Amino acid sequence: MKRWIAGTLLVGTLLATGGVAMAQRGAMHPDGMGPMGRLSPEDMDAFRDAHIAALHAGLKLSPDQEKLWPPVEEAIRNLAKLHRDHMKMMQEGNVADEDTPRRIRALADRMSQGADALRKLSDAAAPLYATFDDAQKRRLRFLVRGMGMGMGMRSGAMMHDGHGMMPDMHEDDEEE
């Protein structure tokens, strides 16, 4: 279970702080498009909703598990909103215009906000995960990996020996 939570936290970290490096290197591409290409905020919301729906559908939750889903979905949505807000701020140039100490402070603040959101996701997910059977755990690993790639990661970017940056995610783990 600890490895699953660590994997979830890694994905959440990528969602919450993934744009920091882009903002420091310049959030805009030479053709004037942002790092997400031509996707509007509405498009990004639609893809977020699709990823959440895919995760929910793929888990095939039982009626008892369904009762534990709403806090998980809320935590995922809050984390995605935080990421979107951070990306918007960076695209507006608020980060690049600051002097170095302020930029470092702003980065630390964003990372703290992301860490808080990840803790909430972990806290919300733990009771639900505790009820999963082996098939749901297996599907979750695949779905979370796919969700990370679909939220800005490209195939190979998270790959390490074919198992992603989380090499232990392919093993069933019941450690507490």
Whether the predicted pLDDT of 81 surpasses 80: yes
3-state secondary structure at position 135: helix
Whether the predicted pLDDT of 113 surpasses 60: yes
- CB atoms inside a 10 Å sphere around CB 37: 9
For residue 142, the one-letter residue type is F
Give 124-174 pLDDT, tens digit per residue: 999 999 999 999 999 999 998 866 544 443 333 333 334 443 334 444 444
Mean pLDDT of 107-118: 93
Mean pLDDT of 13-22: 42
Which of 4-8, 102-106, 132-136 is predicted with the least confidence, judged by mean pLDDT?
4-8
pLDDT number for residue 94: 57
pLDDT number for residue 153: 39
Give 37-72 pLDDT, tens digit per residue: 677 888 888 999 999 999 999 999 999 999 999 999
Are 126 and 132 spatial neighbours (Cβ–Cβ below 8 Å)?
no
pLDDT number for residue 154: 38
Whether the predicted pLDDT of 78 surpasses 60: yes
Side-chain half-sphere exposure of 170, counting CA atoms within 13 A: 8
Q: What's the token pair of residue 118?
A: 């990840």
Whether the predicted pLDDT of 29 surpasses 60: no
Whether the predicted pLDDT of 14 surpasses 50: no
- CB atoms inside a 10 Å sphere around CB 99: 8
